[in-house]
Structure 1
Amino acid sequence: MIFAAILAGGIGSRMGETDTPKQFLTLGDKPVIVHTIEKFAINSKFDKIIVLSPKNFINYTNDLIKEYFGDNNNLVVLEGGKTRNDTLINAIEYINDNFDIDDDSIIVTHDSVRPFVTHRIIEDNIKAAKEFGACDTVVPATDTIVESVDSKLIKNIPIRDNYYQGQTPQSFKINKLSELVNSLSESESNILTDACKIFVLKNEDVYLVDGEITNIKITYPYDLKLANTILKEI
């Protein structure tokens, strides 16, 4: 079985003076999150698309889905968690409680604020997760990478050819992901920023999938302006 988890549990604190989480801001003529869900809803391979929303926006998210997708039984809205990984765990628990999955079942996780993910990227994630068990969508780093520990002095300038910028989707075999999540110590859990790091911490391989430079994440007000420009060009 194949599942999608659209991670929309954040409140978008870096977007500036707005009470509306960034995933619900308008891009073109509809909310960012709707653009994102559309990319998965048109793919018939998904047995369920799980949208994880802030608690206070669950009803609003359901209203958006009904408005733009009708009575679609393939879409469900759940409450997100306090952290990104808590949100992902909520999705996994829903899947385990409602579906009879096996060791080949996979989950494709994606930021709700990356509305320009392509069909090719999604398909490549599904293929890589089935074959390798875990994958991350990336693009090669184009700028020089500078490392600083104290935010004042340069500690290291690594070779750029060895570095990539992480995007999403990130996709995994569900049972393996659950196994690794349950094995995390408290200190390991506290340093996690995304699910791929769980695999890295446990010395598990993560395959690279080619992303796209247009697969941007809308984090700051400028990103939303850029996204509107990309949308017009598309």
Structure 2
Amino acid sequence: MRAVRAELSKLSTLPSVWLAALLAVVVPTGIALLNRGVAGPDRGYQELAFGVMGVIVLGVVAVSSEYLAESADSGGGRQLTTSLAAVPSRLRFLAAKALAVVLVAVPLAFTAAAATMGVVQARLDAGRLAGVVCYWTYTALLAFAITVLLRHGIVPLTVLLVNTSVVSVTFLLTKVTPLANYFPDMAGVRMFVGKVANDDVSISPLVGLLVMSAWVAGLLVLAGAVFARRDA
């Protein structure tokens, strides 16, 4: 637990993490305000799908910050070198960092869900709320794992944010092949959104959970294996 507390402390010192928290709450509630006149069974939940922008930033910077050079007073090295000196086991270090991301992402998801559904004046369904929290947490871990594999944050941050907010490449791919519905974001969103717009493929919340779980587990295992074997 000492390693987890250290990782939480590091996250709390990063301005980008506070920006991530702000995005996580402001983005879905802001979209909900703009869509106040829109009715539908997924009212509020569709907006929460966009709020993952905040946890994407969280997952990316939790890793990318380790590769930034420290100040000259600290020797000019990278934070990762200091972190591995404190926690020599790479897998333990990575697990502590991933758990710290989860411990931040979960309350953010609850807060954003409560704020967004308050704006649209809709009751929070317990099952769908669990889906939102799971989707947000898994998205943060996906961003985390991809950043571990790439060792820098620019590419994963850009690609994941654009895919979430501007042009959903995975959604466009569903028009080419129905298999694209089993990308983690497309399957995972079914945990709390009944039907994706213009989509003819039916995926139950349970199947969405299983598919996204498999993606997250696979990428985390791959990230751990790569991180344990390569040079810091």
Q: TM-score, normalised by structure 1?
A: 0.31
Larger relative strand fraction: 1
Q: TM-score, normalised by structure 2?
A: 0.31
Larger relative helix fraction: 2
